[in-house]
Structure 1
């Protein structure tokens, strides 16, 4: 996949997950959101930089101080876009740990979706904005720690592009939830989770169908998502839905 296309996906994913504080430093995007998720609390080298090689140490140290002053570790997101190209090796030599290797996958939405088998007594609620009901289901299914609820809500309430919050229920009981965010032709999938007591029953398939059908109806041509390498069940599900890995990323983390 070309670097401009990767950059477009990365930009869409950043817009879909807004951080409370955001700064630009010569091609690097620095984000902070009270420590909730690496995605919203990391340095993202997205664009070519005019900084010299001699300035790299000063730049890295500057943002290490920025996060340390806020009580957080310095985190860099390493994608094929990183500038300078040896940034990952530089951070490793500086003691940064390698964390959360992740694959970014896409699939076309050009062809009509094949409906899954009928779900007896199944019902999907589709909402354009965050609701307490959706948030309650998601936090229960994902065992979200109480202290992260406020920063999570702040992100989900401030997404600027069009949103699709879906709760899949069976017999009136929520069993799965997920979020889709459409920006132009791209539709990103986030927070896809099934109740731990209901996994392996195909509810995730119905949830994905509802999300992708909404995306097609609202003008998206491609869907994308990120799935961590160690999440085998999710990888199998996305394989079945035709999502193809197009690039990878990981994080470099320097603990306090």
Structure 2
């Protein structure tokens, strides 16, 4: 990944057959991950603890905070968290988000409150998100920068956001589930989507990672002014799986915290 790669390459046309195969494999992967979440042991009313190996870290590296997408428990991102822990990062999650169906703004505020209660490491924090999690992360970056410009102190230590398959410009296909407010919030004309789109001043603190085809986000996830990285795997969920995505996330964190 080049630190100067702020503009995405022109999108190439993907043959319909390949798109169909990617679409099918995408939902198989998502179903497997959801079943894996349900199979994990836990006690009702108590948060699921992160794996012990996520707590040890190279002290020279920033803390990573995982943010899942809509209808995703944080454990949906466990393979990515395992890869980041193996790379030496301390990996954290925010408990109490459930299946992430609250509004983007309300969830960003909950995230801010949770992070404010825990002292940031000297090396800071990087948000690593999937889908809606990227919108939540950008919302927090915008609000924290606005507070800083107004002279309000912040102890969150945010260095930036690495987002995978995030609909920064909205997703027209959200209209297919128009009755669900959690999905309707992704429509391009939604007030929060429009507001975040206008907040381009934080885009330099964002690395956006995506595949060549996303059946949920036909508009793509490239973000003007951000560092945009395309990985070989197509899909909205399955793009989280390959080592190429894990390497891109690690490289994105290093890019955001360099210097």
TM-score normalised by L of structure 2? 0.29
Structure with greater contact order relative to length (CA < 8 Å, sep ≥ 6): 1
Q: Which has the higher helix share?
A: 2
Q: Which has the higher strand share?
A: 1
Say which one has the larger Rg: 1
TM-score normalised by L of structure 1? 0.29
